[in-house]
Structure 1
Amino acid sequence: GRWVFEDPETTVGTEFGLMCEDNKWKLSMVGSINNFGQFIGIPISGVIADKFGRRFTMIFCAVGSAILCILQSFSFNFYMFLTFELLSSIVSSGIYAVTFILAMELFLPEKRVLYYSILECFLPVGAIMVALIASWVKDWRLLLRLSNVPGLLFLTYFWLTEESMRWLETQGKHDRVINALNKIAIVNKKPMPNLPPVVPQTQVTKEKESESNVSIMKDMIRSPTIFWRMIRCSYVWIAATLVYYGLTIGATDIAGDKYLNFSLASFVEIPACLLNWAIMEGMSRKNSLCCVLVLSGVTCFLYILLPASLAMVKLSVFMVSKLAIAVAFSIVYMLTTEIFPTQMRATMVSMCSMLGRIGSMLAPQTTLLGEYFGEYMPMTLFGVAALLAAALTMTLPESKNIKLPDTIDEAERIGNEDKLEV
């Protein structure tokens, strides 16, 4: 028989006939395709950002993904929709990482955490706005158009924002740095400081390491310190994404209005941003990341040990674990940005983020562990992964309140006490 839908809402599932049991796998494929697209796009955007600049890459990703999503809204069958889902996820995957790097390269060390926490708060705000639009239009095509048209406004950022001066300097574009500083001085009504016309150290660095523009990966492999640092960071990223998305999938669906529930779930991320600021201000990067990973891992095991009769206590412990791993996400972004040089920062952050997608792709499969090895096997896996990541975090160099390294040599000198890097 044919499905009859009483709800006036039009979704991809209802319009393309995907609600029957035989076609439900197609709906789950959308999420898999999105993750796969990000897996491909994240490292590409990092290389582009290191080669052509942070501002250009940010604008290209934002405007390009907006155009693709608008075109996706005109899909006349499911496979056309899936194709644009893949393309848009590839292009959009670099927006957050590149924007984050651009912002961090503008701030003084003592201000990074504060401004990063403020920047992060806008993510749940955007999610809440999407939920409000969806509850109003109840049509997936119109939702895609309304939520992506604002992305076209990023074209104005060519005039409204400046390129990362730290990146410009490492590229030997000293004149553009001077021009940018002049504009900033005029806007802020401050006198322009006397600066040398040329920065010799940067020119030498540019000359010695110009091959990094040809192959950043070769530079990374030439430096065992940077290479093994990237490997360790990557595992922490994989563990963080595995635990976060695994806990998200494992959470029981909340009854009630789905738009309101989504908005509330997004809203609670704001306190996590504020908690992230408080923790990183009061503790070192390594200690803060280690503590929240340990908290998440321990509460996973505590959840297993608590009896089913203490349902509310188990739910509270579950949410504490999820909150802790959400904070870990923020800290690992900051730490990764601070311990790699400007020449390859975007590439390294994107590489770690790409490998982190392995965790998000594995997370849906953890439900099978519960079916074959017992219901608590997924939580055991999450606990072990988080605790191993915490231990590995302590082998990374400390980066709180340091000057961002511009060259490989400067990055190698961070945390000389790190025994694995001697």
Structure 2
Amino acid sequence: MERFKEVVNIIGEFGLYQKRIYLLICLPSIFSAFIMLNTVFLLGIPQHRCAIPGYPNDTFAVQSPSHKALINRLIPPSTDETLDYAKCELYDRTLDGDDNSTDLKECSDWVYDKTVFINTFTSEQNIVCKDKLGTANSQMIFFFGVLTGAFVLGTISDVIGRKKTLCLSFLLLFGTTLAVSWAPDFITFCILRFLVGASCAGMFMTAFVIGMELVGPSKRVFAGIIVDFFFAIGTVLLGAIGYAFKEWKYIEITCSAPIAMFLLYWWLVPESPRWLISQGRIEEANKIIQKAAKVNKITIPEKILTADSIEEPETGRLWHLFASRVLLVRTLIIFFNWLVVVMGYYGLSLNTGNLGGDFYVNFMVSGLVEFPAYTLCLILLDRVGRRLLHATCMISGGIACIITIFPMLYADESLEPITITLAMLGKVGISAAFAIIYVWSAELFPTVVRNSGMGASSSCARIGGMIAPYIADLSKVVEGNLGRALPLVIFGGASVVAGVMSLWLPETKSRALPETIEDGKRFGKKNPSEKYESKLGVDNKGYDSNSTAPNGTDSVYTVTKM
């Protein structure tokens, strides 16, 4: 839509009108963080052991010497060096002490430590021991909902419009998140969480599309990274909410009830002019453009767009990215980096409870460290370049995670701050890489398949999100400090591999971006032909004067944290 790009340049690429809309679409990102990460509190598993049969006043904390003696008599010691008592078995003995059998039996009731959580859905439903992987299954179902929602609601937004899909997503999200608070059983909980994930994807991505379709090309990288700061704000606020309540129902209600205010977006947020133009609704698009120009204090003709001025862009197909060896290898590396960076990001967030130290402080710090990560991207992305910065962040973050195995296995609790610091350094690297791969991959895909390529990358990212809970929950399968260390080692190792592989991708900083599939095949070669350079319309600064500014592309791509 070359004519629309010209209009955006005239009214201002990021004027006061766009800034207002952009702020509105950033606010849902705070709640996206609530929804994407609150399983840490909803499905957290407190320390627990078997309840003493026939002893109604049993608690996890020792009440008296006689209580301690009874626990020692009926509960066997744990094989996990980090615990005093077994979690899932007790001696088959009588309460009065006449029986000294050493036979073990599975328990059917538990007592939980209330130091970190007063209660969670997991402790209420006793999803522990033989059902311990239920929490990972539930989180996988949630991320599958995110994948489904992105596909279904993304398709719907192309049919009925961005604005209607956005408000529909808000309505679904509000209803399903509140309903989760009263889920009576595990199956109902999983079904509702699937719907929450689907509607959350629709909310975030559709809102983001509306904002980005109003912003000029040279501002899209800036806008695409700034929205991540709001997600980080949501992470920190979620930690504070969790600390304030420590009860999963109150946390869920607090995170979901304010979503009702987003229903006002029906009157506050406009339809995307790009979508209106694609549907032939030129007059409606003109009205929105006129309003934007008025707020930006720019005078434009009353009908700046006409049906004759709109040209359909050239299109390609996703399978074209696999039609040559060069594009195949490049695409697979991009997909793998998307999978690993999302797996690592959510995995490190979900793994907070295994680091030691104060759970809530760790969680809030994991959100705070994202601020310097994104600031680093804003400062260095156009100075250092995409390839070097992304690879450095992935490799250094991965190494930091791997090194945590040494203090976890060979040091005592006094060195827990070292473990936490290393894990947070890993989170900094992964968070920065998350923002970079979004920009970099969008620039690597040729224009004709950019949206398709980013959509496929988004799907790989969500597969990473579905894998992350199982890796984060390895401590439930492997006992002791090794079980606590394994998730970080796996996330770190995968990050290092992905970072090294990314060095095979070409740099895009200050380069004309590929338009066609043939351009994509030649892109990144050391001596591109003069024909290729002239075809892309490179100006004297090395940028593509036809369709992009230094960091921008005409196509709108939406992945970020979702």
**Shorter-chain TM band:** 0.7 to 0.9
Residue 282, structure 1, aligned to residue 380, structure 2: no
2:437 counterpart residue number: 332
- Partner Cα distance (2:467, 2:113) in 1: 36
Residue 42, structure 1, aligned to residue 150, structure 2: yes
Residue 255, structure 1, aligned to residue 364, structure 2: no
Residue 95, structure 1, aligned to residue 193, structure 2: no
Q: Secondary structure at the match of 1:163?
A: coil
2:369 counterpart residue number: 268
Residue 386, structure 1, aligned to residue 484, structure 2: no
* Amino acid across the alignment from 1:177: A
2:228 counterpart residue number: 120
Q: Secondary structure at the match of 2:118?
A: coil
- Partner Cα distance (2:488, 2:119) in 1: 36
Query: Which 5+ residue runs of structure 1 have no aligned equivalent?
Result: 210-217
Q: Is the 8 A contact 2:400 2:422 kept in 1?
A: yes
Query: Which 5+ residue runs of structure 2 have no aligned equivalent?
Result: 1-52, 54-108, 533-562
2:537 counterpart residue number: none
How many aligned residue pairs are there?
A: 406
* Amino acid across the alignment from 1:13: T
2:285 counterpart residue number: 177
Q: Secondary structure at the match of 2:376?
A: helix
Q: Is the 8 A contact 1:68 1:87 kept in 2?
A: yes
- Partner Cα distance (1:164, 1:191) in 2: 21
State the Cα distance separating 1:293 from its structure 2 match: 2.2
Cα 1:336–1:105 shift into 2, 3 Å? farther
Q: Secondary structure at the match of 1:203?
A: coil
Superposition TM-score, scaled by structure 2 size = 0.60
- Partner Cα distance (2:491, 2:426) in 1: 10
Q: Is the 8 A contact 2:444 2:513 kept in 1?
A: yes
Superposition TM-score, scaled by structure 1 size = 0.77
State the Cα distance separating 1:301 from its structure 2 match: 5.9
- Partner Cα distance (2:147, 2:486) in 1: 27
1:144 counterpart residue number: 252
1:21 counterpart residue number: 129
Q: Secondary structure at the match of 1:64?
A: helix
State the Cα distance separating 1:416 from its structure 2 match: 4.4
- Partner Cα distance (2:312, 2:347) in 1: 47
Q: Secondary structure at the match of 1:93?
A: helix
* Amino acid across the alignment from 1:322: K
* Amino acid across the alignment from 1:238: L
Cα 1:303–1:14 shift into 2, 3 Å? closer
Q: Is the 8 A contact 2:446 2:520 kept in 1?
A: no
State the Cα distance separating 1:68 from its structure 2 match: 1.0
Give the structure, 1 or 2, with the largest relative contact order (CA under 8 Å, sep 6 or more). 1
Q: After superposition, what is the alpha-carbon deviation per residue over 1:56-103, rounded to whole angstroms, capped at 9, x for unaligned?
A: 433332331221111222322232222211221122234334433433
**Residues 65-80 of structure 1 mapped to structure 2, 5 A cutoff:** 65-80=173-188
State the Cα distance separating 1:120 from its structure 2 match: 1.4
Cα 1:89–1:248 shift into 2, 3 Å? closer
* Amino acid across the alignment from 1:328: A
Q: Is the 8 A contact 1:50 1:345 kept in 2?
A: no
Cα 1:379–1:160 shift into 2, 3 Å? closer
Q: Is the 8 A contact 1:65 1:91 kept in 2?
A: yes
Which of 164, 169, 191 is residue 83 of structure 1 equivalent to?
Answer: 191
Q: Secondary structure at the match of 2:133?
A: helix
State the Cα distance separating 1:342 from its structure 2 match: 8.4
- Partner Cα distance (2:289, 2:136) in 1: 49
Q: Secondary structure at the match of 1:74?
A: coil
**Residues 94-243 of structure 1 mapped to structure 2, 5 A cutoff:** 94-193=202-301, 196-198=304-306, 200=308, 202-205=310-313, 219-222=317-320, 224=322, 228=328, 230-243=331-344
2:46 counterpart residue number: none
